[in-house]
Amino acid sequence: MRLTERYDRLREADARRDEDGCLRAFHEIAGLADGPVADEGAPTPARVAWLRYDRPRRVDLLALRAGARPVAKFEDLDRRTALGLEQRLRSEGFRTAVVGPYARRFDVALSTPSGPAERYLVAASRGAEAEQVIEAERDRSPEGARRAGRLLGYPPCCVERFVALERTPEAASDGINEAALRALLDGPPVHWALHPLCSESPVGFVPCGGRCPLALDFARRVLAAVEREDPTGAAVLRAQLLRPMLIVRVGLFWIFDGAGEGSARRGSVRYSRVAAQDDPSLPWLYAWGARAVGASLARGDTVTLDEESLLAGEGGRTVARWALSQPMVPRWWLPRSEAL
């Protein structure tokens, strides 16, 4: 079953208030064979907007203004935000191009006809690159993706890897963003500066590998621009990118205040606090994520993942266990603190 259909099942079950159907559909999305479910209203982790596609990325604005990027694009904005951003960038001397309205496209969770056409993309550059990026992205072929990637300054190796992943069975089933995320996490340990799921990440693309030197060069340029403009903010950004995360889907994950060890498929985190990714456009997804997983994480202080199960513990005892279905869906983000 395609991931889009799994999201549809959860959305439809939630609309008819079918709790058993919601739990089954959420388990299908999250790759869980079974597990506990909390009562509605049980304490759950606080929600944070860790990854937002409907707001201009601050790091891209700073990098664009500093010349660390020749062109930047800001996707899935509402009309008011898009027009305000375009006006502001034009007043600063940038050339801009706007596309829209369109239905939000960043995630297969909203790829059905139920998604209204109300989103806009703004591209900006000092030269003609903004218009050229828009023209390249209208070409949905691999060559169009290559041209757009080159114009955006993405490393050629990362662009080619993305183009290749678009043709995989995993991308056909789960969407290119899910396929690219798992390909990255299942490879060599990923440098913290190449964080794939944070609005403060210096790279707005999925690199070809966790140690790609060209992607790290890109990250250095962007972080240097951020540090010159906002040294305190740069330190906060680094701390954000180093926090452990339990990733279920591109838009479904938990962030921990704590320390972890292990790899993407097998590891553990000891934590003092946990927060959940939030996106107000997906209330049905986060409500069931909170009941099916988040409430147990809120009770615990340790969480362990291997290829067969996910365990939450508190004070040395197990408070919840989830058996995993196959292929394995959850992954860890467990970055090391290392120089860039």
Q: What is the pLDDT of residue 111?
A: 47
User: Is cis: bond before 207, omega within 30 of 0?
Assistant: no
What distance in Å separates the CA atoms of residue 22 and residue 6, rounded to the nearest whole number? 10
3-state secondary structure of 51: coil
Q: What is the pLDDT of residue 118?
A: 84
Residue 32 pairs in a beta bridge with 324
Please give the structure tokens belonging to residue 138.
Answer: 């209208």
What distance in Å separates the CA atoms of residue 81 and residue 151, rounded to the nearest whole number? 24
pLDDT at 233 over 50: yes
Residue pair 323/35 in contact by the 8 Å Cβ criterion:
yes
Q: For 102-134, b where at least 16 C-beta lie within 10 A, e where not — what string?
A: ebbbbbbbbbeeebeeebbbbbbbeeebbbbbb
pLDDT digits (tens, 9 = 90+) for 82-121: 999 999 999 999 999 999 998 765 455 554 455 567 889 9
pLDDT digits (tens, 9 = 90+) for 5-27: 999 999 999 999 999 999 999 99
Q: What is the residue whose two structure tokens read 């960038």?
A: 89
Closest CA to 194 of 226, 242, 236: 242
pTM over 0.85: yes
Residue 73 pairs in a beta bridge with 123
pLDDT digits (tens, 9 = 90+) for 300-320: 999 999 999 999 999 999 999
- Work out the angle at residue 254's Cα, subtended by the Cα atoms of residues 290 and 231, and round it to the nearest 5 degrees: 140
